Amino acid sequence: MLQKAGRNRAITYVRIRYNNWVILGVKVKIKVLVLSVFLLGICMAEQGLIRENVQLEMGVSADKNENCMVFIVKNIGKDDILTSPIATNENRIVVVDESGKEFEIFTMKDMEPVIIKQKDEVLWKYKVGNIIDNAKISKTGKYYVYWNFHGVKTSKMLFLKQN
């Protein structure tokens, strides 16, 4: 009886260990997949595949309850575009101060890619207050902001910091 119970416990233990390895394996596979997609995105940018296939627009939101910038990308190419949200990885906001010094707002993140299908448009919003905080803007003066989307850049937009 005791021997049987011990054997069952051993089988259960092996099963749990096996299941954990299976779950771990799936997790690793997903991470590898996400990373591959991310690297593919970088390769596309480096090869200039994205450059000819996107239309970028940067502006502000008219919503009175928001104090936000808007970033709109349209896929005008034939292939899907893989990217990540605004201010992550190769999708960056750049702040230029009066001396010409550039500060990039972004974090490198391993995440599920944003897929922009043909003719689709994706919109991101970013609070103006977050630009001030992240670029550590404290001095008064003129700042220019542009959007660097996988190496494709918008024109610069003026931001004025006063007392």
Partner 1 sequence: MLILIISVCFAGGKQPNDSGLKLLNVRTELGVSLSEDPLTIVFIVENNSKNELKMSPLGTSDSRIVLIKPDGTEVELFAWAEVTKFIIVKPGESFTQKMPLERIFTSKALRLNGKEPFELNEKGKYNMYWKIGEVKSNQILILKE
Task: Provide the binding-site residues for partner 1, judged by CB under 8 A.
Answer: 57-68, 70, 72, 123, 128-129, 131-132, 137, 142-143, 157-163
In the complex, minimum distance from the CB of residue 99 to partner 1, in angstroms, rounded to a whole number: 17
Taking the least distance from each CB to partner 1, the nearer of 108 and 123 is 123
Cα–Cα distance measured from residue 68 to residue 131, given in angstroms and rounded to the nearest whole number: 10
In the complex, minimum distance from the CB of residue 70 to partner 1, in angstroms, rounded to a whole number: 5
The CA distance from 158 to 125, in Å, is: 17
The rounded distance, in Å, linking the Cα atoms of 130 and 119 is 30
Exposed/middle/buried for residue 80 (C-beta within 10 Å: 0-12, 13-18, 19+): middle
> Which residue lies nearer to partner 1 by CB, 66 or 112?
66
**In the complex, minimum distance from the CB of residue 57 to partner 1, in angstroms, rounded to a whole number:** 5
Query: Which residue number, 44 or 95, has a Cβ lying nearer to partner 1?
Result: 95
Q: For partner 1, give the closer residue by CB, 5 or 160.
A: 160
- Look at residue 76 and give its three-state secondary structure: coil
Minimum CB separation from partner 1 for residue 51, in Å? 21
User: Of 68, 73, 81, nearest to 57 (Cα)?
Assistant: 73
